Structure 1
Amino acid sequence: MADSKKIETIYNRCKLAKVISFDVFGTLITRDVVEPDDVIRIAKTKKNGREVVGENKEDIEALYEVEMSIVHPIDDMIFVMRRLKQNGKVIILTSDMYLNGQMIENLLENIGVIKGIDYDWIFVSSDYGCTKKDGGLYKLIQQEIHVSFEEMVHIGDAIRSDYLIPRMLGIKAIWYKSEKNRSVPEYRNNELRNLNRFIENHMSVENYEYEIGYKFFGPLLYGFANWLNDRISERNEPVFFLAREGFIFLKALEIMGMSQENMKYMLISRRSIIGSLLWIYDDIDEMIKSLHIDRKISFEKVIALLNVQECLKNDRASLKLLGRIYTSSTEIIDDEETYSFLFRHISEIKEKSKSQYDAMEKYLQSIEFDTQDDCTMVDIGWVGTMQRYLNDYIKTRKYSKRIKGLYLGVHINNYNEDPKEGYLFNGDSVKKQRDIFSFVGLLESVFSEQDGSVKHYCQRGDSYEIERCGYEYDENDAKKIAMIQQGMLDFVRDMHNSGIKHILFFDQYLSTFNLLKFGNNPSKKDLDFFRTLVFSDESYSLNSGFGLKTLSIKDFKNNFMNSIWKTAYLKCTFGSWFPAKAFYDCLYGLKKNT
């Protein structure tokens, strides 16, 4: 919306005039693209690359078809026009345009602006062989409707055609510079400006969460879905989208009409497959190492991963272990009391694990993963741990099956023998990795199915049952996440249905440009959203503890490491003035070098 004072000023300056002339494109209607030449580029793609120059009927019709699909009303100026019309003013529309007057009438009618009701006349350069730019169209208007230039006001967005030329002729001119027409930096061949123009024109819901989904996460999801389709369509083999991020990825492909019968959603988690494979290890050391501990973890969470919570009730020695924290598998192994507890219960661990394995086997057979056939798996990333676990399962089945992993990003390639590829990075682009990981928890939350992680598989007679954890967000926050997801899926739908997709290249740069600004430099509104967001799982709950008065160094370190949005956490803790991104970059560099 434009400034209301500015709109009122335009209206007041027209009160004394007899005839009000409005430019059309950029004043009453706007396109999804910034430059008019982009319309030609879109039409060219629809003509399979054939040049479209606008010099014959077929070309004009192709351009008209594109224009019809990408124009939108500028509501504030249409309101001014209608208000002036109701006050008895003669309303004229003008345009220097390759389309003829009837075509522009049709474009306007399509958005609800009707000749005879909202305006009286329309003068288009292609109908008369003269333009506003050379002054000829204004002179023609003067002759056709018998009005003096002094009785006219013209409003438009082009400096020369709509302001300087009419003023030279004695017409009162108002230069209308809309919010959407304000210049933005030249990023990459106009693509980013076109993307943001598209977002401004299509984002219909006025809601903070919906807006960040549509504007920030939507382009990334759209780019990744296209990237996936390019690779999946090349391979005639089963494709498994892993829970829970795979749910949204598959949804995006369905919206774009790219889903196939060979695509399936796999209900699996790191916890569920770890628990199902523990029985294959010979000793406690191997079991603990298989957990791949990469962050602080409590004794209770370790027991939950091993699925032997019942042992806590029957082993009194466990009481002193409650609340104990570990930062690596080595710490667990080196802790004599913890190691002894686990050693005492190795038989229970194996028994539980084998039961889970048998149930998981039935489930994987039901979705046709448990076969000799090669397949592709899709997940968010970042190391490829789930791919490694699935390969471990395949070994127990003595299959020669090969899994190709497709990820949003591959952080580091710990498992070089496992073929994998990332959209945003492939163990390279340290800066891109660092920038994404500052809010990676939020990214994962937004891309996840709104149901809890898979806890484990259970035997139920000859069948199986999948037990899931609780969702990490309460009912109120779940609605916020759902609104973000709705926004990004609506972006995918709108972009897929728009001709502008043919002139935008959704690579790593374009798909993340807006998102990285949002994630690494959160605004006050973003911080207010983050402060009230409560993320909880079985090992921790985090949203409070902001501010220095009540925060210990130990608490700060733990909260920072577990935070789903680290730059926002730093600003909430130290103040909005705090250089959170620079501080985070420094910590990231120190961690990488240790």
Structure 2
Amino acid sequence: MEEKYSKKINYYKKVLKKYDNYSNFYDCANTMLENIPESICYEDSVIYKTTIMVTAPVLVSYVLYILKDAQNKKMERLYFLSRDGYIMYKIANILCQSYGIDIECRYLYCSRLALRAPLYLIDKKEAMEKICEKGEKISIKIVLQRAGVSETIQNEIINQLGIKQKDKSLNEEELKILKEKLNKNLLFTTEVYKYAKVKYEEIYKYFKQEKLIENKNYAIVDVGWLGTMQRHIRQILLYSGYNKTIKGYYFAMFEDGKKEDGEYNCFYFSKKNNSSRRILFNNNIFECMCSANHGMTIGYNSSNEGVIKPIFKDYKEKWNVNLQLITIEKYTKKFVALNKCNEIKIDCLNKIIKTLLVSFMMFPSKEEASVYGSIPFCDDFTEGYTFNLADILNKAELYQYYIFYKIYKKLFLKKKNEKFHESYWINGTIQLSNIRFKKIFNLGCILSEYIHYLIYKLK
């Protein structure tokens, strides 16, 4: 197994060496390969090697782009949003200190849950859309958790609505019907409004403490995807009477952010620039590459000294996140020792990371699929359930991703909308599944994404 994984590492080394004139990623990787921690287990060795070959070069490139662009735009401060921004915040501090970049970097404790909590007070219609948003395993119980309804009141509402299976997964149509019923339920609307009001007061005090309500040229930093975090921050600030154009830096965006929500600066792709890169990209595994070692922010409270501090959801380490974090920090320090800031060809770094990401995300080795695929992941902002990133699927579930099966299903099968358990990283799942011709099957799934992309562009 070790020998097979070495072939993948050698491929990454060839990529880094090919582009070595853009930066010294290759020399950084070689130095760190020579210093693999002693007594490291096999799973951790895969994390360590993949981190120095893929994760670290990608994230260092992204943060370098942010800092360079922020300098050009005379930014005074950057807010790295938790939790995906945690390691980027660490990288930025090292780069700023080493290269003498005069930008204040701050880490902002927030989450989709914390930012959406006050939304019902600000915009009821949008709040209900988020509360009843579809997902892999969304039940009435998860919907009420999203709304901040206590467990005791949850049971009362469920009884009033006459729902017998509170843990049953709901499809998109069922969620629409549920939303209509909740909008007419007095107990629900009363509870969610009270919750939103309390949560708004908490987060406003935290934002004020962290100086977001200040006449400074600042931007927020996150991974991206749909731009909702920036939107919710803007909504909260506007509701407080602070009308400011929010600026944001994102690794990639699948959709354009709304104009009223401010500026969106994207590094890898956006809807307008390099949008075809989304085909060979998996945002779920990218979030795992940015994992933090603390729980999700679920609220805020005030200490005796009047300091507003985040409240975290219980956190249990289920894979070696700390190894990834420590390795990236060490890598960054090696990088600045080998590179002068003005000699780094930042505009060319995209070429390196594209090749690395496509190989890792779309064509993972069995070792990468096994180790990273076992990372627990959830697509819901309550984190009320988790699945492995690359869960093992049965054949019926697996074939739903395959382009030729999709065509056959649409033409001849009656159960066209049957719901299956899905994989958050299908390319990793294929590697781990007991099927023949994995490479061909994987290419078929990628072809399916190409077709979806063409339809998306035509629309």
Confirm or deny a common fold (TM above 0.5). Answer: yes
In the other structure, the counterpart of 1:322 is 166
Partners in 1 of 2:24 and 2:76 — Cα distance? 37
In the other structure, the counterpart of 1:498 is 338
Cα deviation for residue 406 of structure 1 reads 0.7
Structure showing greater relative contact order (alpha-carbon pairs closer than 8 Å, 6 or more residues apart): 2
Partners in 2 of 1:288 and 1:414 — Cα distance? 20
Cα deviation for residue 340 of structure 1 reads 5.9
Cα deviation for residue 553 of structure 1 reads 7.8
Query: Residues 323, 342 of structure 1: CA spacing in aligned structure 2 closer, same or farther, 3 A cutoff?
Result: farther
Mapped contact 2:133–2:175 kept (Cα < 8 A): no
Cα deviation for residue 455 of structure 1 reads 1.5
In the other structure, the counterpart of 1:538 is 384
1:363 aligns with 2:224: no
Cα deviation for residue 339 of structure 1 reads 2.7
Cα deviation for residue 334 of structure 1 reads 2.5
In the other structure, the counterpart of 2:361 is 519
Partners in 1 of 2:365 and 2:237 — Cα distance? 47
In the other structure, the counterpart of 2:448 is 587
Mapped contact 2:56–2:332 kept (Cα < 8 A): yes
In the other structure, the counterpart of 1:470 is 314
Query: Residues 185, 214 of structure 1: CA spacing in aligned structure 2 closer, same or farther, 3 A cutoff?
Result: closer
Mapped contact 1:237–1:375 kept (Cα < 8 A): yes
Percent of residue pairs identical: 16
Cα deviation for residue 211 of structure 1 reads 0.7
In the other structure, the counterpart of 1:87 is none
Structure 1: tracts of 5 or more residues without a match = 4-178
Cα deviation for residue 269 of structure 1 reads 0.9
In the other structure, the counterpart of 1:200 is 30
Partners in 1 of 2:286 and 2:249 — Cα distance? 17
Partners in 2 of 1:545 and 1:202 — Cα distance? 31
Mapped contact 1:455–1:467 kept (Cα < 8 A): yes
1:269 aligns with 2:100: no
Mapped contact 2:204–2:240 kept (Cα < 8 A): no
Residues 132-177 of structure 1: per-residue CA shift (max 9 Å, x gap): xxxxxxxxxxxxxxxxxxxxxxxxxxxxxxxxxxxxxxxxxxxxxx
1:251 aligns with 2:90: yes
Residues 430-452 of structure 1: per-residue CA shift (max 9 Å, x gap): 33222122xx2222122132112
Partners in 2 of 1:576 and 1:529 — Cα distance? 21
Query: Residues 308, 184 of structure 1: CA spacing in aligned structure 2 closer, same or farther, 3 A cutoff?
Result: closer
Query: Residues 584, 486 of structure 1: CA spacing in aligned structure 2 closer, same or farther, 3 A cutoff?
Result: farther
TM-score norm. by structure 1 comes to 0.60
1:216 aligns with 2:54: yes
Cα deviation for residue 216 of structure 1 reads 0.8
Cα deviation for residue 292 of structure 1 reads 7.9
Residues 527-573 of structure 1: per-residue CA shift (max 9 Å, x gap): 33245434463133336862537969899965435x2x321012223
1:240 aligns with 2:102: no
Structure 2: tracts of 5 or more residues without a match = 4-8, 38-44, 402-417
1:422 to 255, 266, 284: 266
Mapped contact 1:245–1:449 kept (Cα < 8 A): yes
In the other structure, the counterpart of 1:455 is 298
In the other structure, the counterpart of 2:276 is 431
Partners in 2 of 1:378 and 1:185 — Cα distance? 28
Query: Residues 526, 559 of structure 1: CA spacing in aligned structure 2 closer, same or farther, 3 A cutoff?
Result: farther
Alignment of 1:178-197 (within 5 A): 191=21, 195-196=25-26
Partners in 2 of 1:227 and 1:242 — Cα distance? 17
Mapped contact 1:383–1:410 kept (Cα < 8 A): yes
SS at match of 2:96: coil
TM-score norm. by structure 2 comes to 0.76
In the other structure, the counterpart of 1:409 is 252
In the other structure, the counterpart of 2:66 is 228
Cα deviation for residue 186 of structure 1 reads 11
Cα deviation for residue 192 of structure 1 reads 8.1
Partners in 1 of 2:390 and 2:106 — Cα distance? 38
SS at match of 2:259: coil
Partners in 1 of 2:373 and 2:76 — Cα distance? 45
Partners in 1 of 2:181 and 2:168 — Cα distance? 9
Of structures 1 and 2, the larger Rg is shown by 1
Partners in 2 of 1:514 and 1:202 — Cα distance? 18
In the other structure, the counterpart of 1:347 is 190
Cα deviation for residue 343 of structure 1 reads 4.7
Cα deviation for residue 299 of structure 1 reads 2.2
In the other structure, the counterpart of 1:399 is 242
Partners in 1 of 2:134 and 2:452 — Cα distance? 13
Query: Residues 249, 290 of structure 1: CA spacing in aligned structure 2 closer, same or farther, 3 A cutoff?
Result: same
